[in-house]
Each structure stands twice: as structure tokens, then as C-alpha cells.
Amino acid sequence: MTSQDEFSDAQQLADWDREHVWHAFTQMQDYEPLIVTHASGCVLTDIEGRELIDGVSSVWCNVHGHRHPVIDSAIREQLNKVAHVTSLGMSNPTTIELARRLAEITPDGLEHTFFSGDGASSVEVALKMAFQYWHQREDPRPQKNTYIALGSAYHGDTLGSVSVGGVARFHEMFEPLLFNVIRVDNPNTYRLPEGVSATDATAYYLDKLESTLATHHQQVAAMVIEPLVQGAAGLIMQPEGYLRGVRELTRKYDVLLIADEVAVGFGRTGKMFACEHESVNPDIMCLAKGLTGGYLAMSATIATTEIWNTFLGSGLKTFYHGHTYAGNPLAAAAALATLDIFHDEATLENVATRSQELREALETRIASHPLVGNIRQRGLIAAIELVADKATKDPLNATLGTGYKVCQAALDKGVWLRPLRDTLVIMPPLSINQQQLQQIVDAVDYGLNQL
């Protein structure tokens, strides 16, 4: 192909992209195609041959880099056996092995994995499971038919997961379609209510939760939470001890705890699962994004034996829920390889080293910028919240698209980032190296200076 052909090819694809592909969370009128043709490690290559560091892990799911040889060959090997086996009354060795491994590595008590295809479904499944559990356990409590969720929560985009979600700009439109949930204030260590200091934040929010539980626990089947970091809300981080307190209170008031680790699971926060930071054993855990290393669509809802046992028996005790491609063996093969790499490449050690470097770089290079109101970080999740006024923490006018502009400028420095409004997100693959991480910080610095 001549370069002229390549150009028109790119042009043609961009036109078709605009015309025929309806992109997620994207205003299509303004959409500027960015077409990736291949990738390797932490670098994406677009159709014009431009190389970009994947600064947000292809939106929070890539773990060990793209085209990892171990994951690639695990999928190929599985392809030589069988591409799909239904999970409706049938099984296959790869998916069995994955369920066993998940039981081994997740917090104590979680033993039984229900597979589905994406994070939203894993939450949907957890909500239904919790509901049905109260109906059919030995001492039934069918009046427990609602949920507690945090303000600004994000649990996916199906109607059940939107019901427990609380991000106004995503969820408001669908209000009439949603079921009611009990909403509690979400801890936000940057924007604490007046009179609440950082040291009493945990106690303050747990007190509020306890009074809600004391009033409503008879009606509450489960509390659902994104442990430690509320992702799509803007990477809002919880104060130390909050998650542990939530576990203690939900136990005290006989409410199930659903930990949505879709974003924070698989090493992101520095431990395999965020719940481990506070020694929390949830009743149900939801996993998705990193599960297959960012390769294939698969999610998992993992429940305790106590819950599982109530579904054993005849007829209506069955969990009548399922997805055609649930437990897909190609995805399971990718997931098993992903878990092996954690061990073989000492991934969590890399996260520890890199996150420390990132912390220092952000502190010395980014924090003093006049628009940077807050930098917060948990492992390889870093948020840079831009504000109009550092002292008052007043947000920027969202219509200015400041966060987006910084990320557009970062492209010139070979880094791809996707902000959450005016919060810049740095969430690279866990395999990122020192030099690439530095390049991301350079690009953010450059982007901020272009404003």
C-alpha cells in the first residue's frame, strides 16, 4: 500500500466509525475518531502509526499490558480445544479451574462463582442473589427487599446496577425506570462536610450509616459498595477504617455486604483485592475489568457457602439467571494466565514501586499547578482533581472541558488519558515501567501548562 492509500483508508474508517459505531459514553456529534490498529505492552499504535502510552489501561481493565505472550498463547491453546461451552448445566475444565482459583485467592468465605459477561451484570447478579437469599433461607426475611448504596456510586449501566448507582449525570435520565434504594453519604476525604476533620471523617460517616441501618435494617437485603475508591464518581477515596466499619455494621444489623471490586480488584490498589487492605470478608464480591487481564468480556459474582446453601433444593430455589456466554473458556483461559503472571512477574511488587514513584512525581511536578486542587492515590489509581479555586475548592465550569483539554494536549506527548470530567485519571497497566510512568507525568505537566 502506498502512503496515499493508507491515508484514504484511515479517512474511510474514520468516516464509517462516525457513521456506524455508536460509542459508549461519547457525544457522537463531537466524536473525533482515534483508531487503534495494534498494541504491545503499555503502548497503543493508532492507524497513522502514532504510538501512545495507554495511561488508563484501556479504561481500567488492562493489567499486564497488551499482547502479553502468556495470555496470547493461553487463548490460542484454548482455541485448539473449544471456544465456547455453555454454563447451563454443562462445564469445561478451564472454567472449573478458574472458579477454583478464584475461591483460593479471594477473601475467606467466598467459594462459589457465578460467571457473567461484564461488570454491570456481575452487580445485577449480586443484587438478585442477595434478594433471593433472604426469601429462601431457613429463617426467611422476605421483607428485606431493598438495598443501601453510597452517594455517587457507580455499579454499571443495566437498570438494576443503575438503580444502586448515584452519579446524577449518568443516572438521572432513567429515574422513572429505577427501583428505590436507601442512599447514604459517601465519604469524600477531599470534600468533607463543614466541621468534620480528616481524623473524625471515618467516625462521622460510620455514625451516619449506623443511624440509617438502625432505622431501616429490617428492609435491607444488602449494602453495595465500591471498596476504598469510588471509580466513575471521580476516584473519590474513603478514609482509613471506613470499609472495615461498614463490614462491622452490616454484620451487626444483619445486612449482606456486596463488594463491587470491578474497578479496584486484581492488584489495582496494591493488594490483589481492595477488601484485603482492611481485612474485610464480604458476603458477595463482584469482579470484572481486570479479570481477564483486559482481554475478553468476563465477570464473576462470588458468594459465600451460607448464601449458596440456601439455593440448594428443588424447584424455585434455583437461581433463575444466566447469560449465554457466561463462563466462556477462552475468557477463562485469559483469566488463568493473568493470575499466573501476577506470580511470575511479581506484579504487586511492581505496583508498590511504581505507585511510590508516581506519588513522588505528582507531588513534586503536578501539585503546585494553580488548578490542581487535590491529588489522591491508591496503588496505581491516581486522581488529579482540577478546581477553579484551590482555597475554596470550587469546581471548574464543566462546560469548559478543562480535563478533556489536558488529555488532548497529552496526546502530543504520546500519552492517552481519559478524564472523569475535571479529574485527571492516571491508571496505567500494572506492568508499566519507570520511564513510561515518567512520560505520563510529563504529558500531564505539559497538558496543564498548555491551558
Ligand X SMILES: *Cc1c(COP(=O)(O)O)cnc(C)c1O
Which of 213, 263, 275, 334 is the binder for ligand X (CB under 6 A)? 263
CB 255 within 8 A of CB 213: yes
CB 223 within 8 A of CB 259: no
By CB under 6 A, residue 326 contacts ligand X? no
The x, y and z cell numbers of residue 199, run together, are: 481524623
Which of 41, 166, 231, 294 is the binder for ligand X (CB under 6 A)? 231
The x, y and z cell numbers of residue 378, run together, are: 491508591
Beta bridge partners of 52: 44
Distance CA 46, CA 35 (A): 5
* Window of 100-108, 130-138, 259-267, 439-447 that interacts with ligand X by CB under 6 A: 259-267
User: Smallest distance from the beta carbon of 262 to ligand X, in angstroms?
Assistant: 4
Distance CA 152, CA 230 (A): 8
Chain centroid to CA 89: 30
Give me the long-range contacts of 363-368 (CB less than 8 A, separation at least 24).
365/441, 365/445, 366/441, 366/444, 366/445, 366/448
Task: Looking at 240-346, list the stretches that DSSP marks H as alpha helix, in order from N- to C-terminal side.
Answer: 242-252, 305-309, 329-344
User: Smallest distance from the beta carbon of 231 to ligand X, in angstroms?
Assistant: 4
SS3 253: coil
Of 111 and 226, the one with the shorter C-beta distance to ligand X is 226
User: Smallest distance from the beta carbon of 399 to ligand X, in angstroms?
Assistant: 25
User: Smallest distance from the beta carbon of 5 to ligand X, in angstroms?
Assistant: 36
By CB under 6 A, residue 118 contacts ligand X? yes
Distance CA 322, CA 319 (A): 9
Which of 127, 288, 410, 440 is the binder for ligand X (CB under 6 A)? 288
Near ligand X in 153-182, by CB under 6 A: 154-156
Residue with grid cell 441501618, as numbered in its chain: 213
Binding characters for ligand X, 51-80, by CB under 6 A (x = yes) = ------------------------------
Alpha-carbon dihedral angle through residues 54, 98, 243, 170, given to the nearest 10 degrees? 50
By CB under 6 A, residue 234 contacts ligand X? no
Which of 46, 111, 124, 226 is the binder for ligand X (CB under 6 A)? 226
Of 282 and 447, the one with the shorter C-beta distance to ligand X is 282
Binding characters for ligand X, 183-222, by CB under 6 A (x = yes) = ----------------------------------------
Pairing of strands 36-40, 43-46: antiparallel
By CB under 6 A, residue 119 contacts ligand X? yes
* Window of 118-126, 132-140, 303-311, 322-330 that interacts with ligand X by CB under 6 A: 118-126
Q: Which residues bind ligand X (CB under 6 A)?
A: 118-120, 123, 154-156, 226, 231-232, 260, 262-263, 288-289
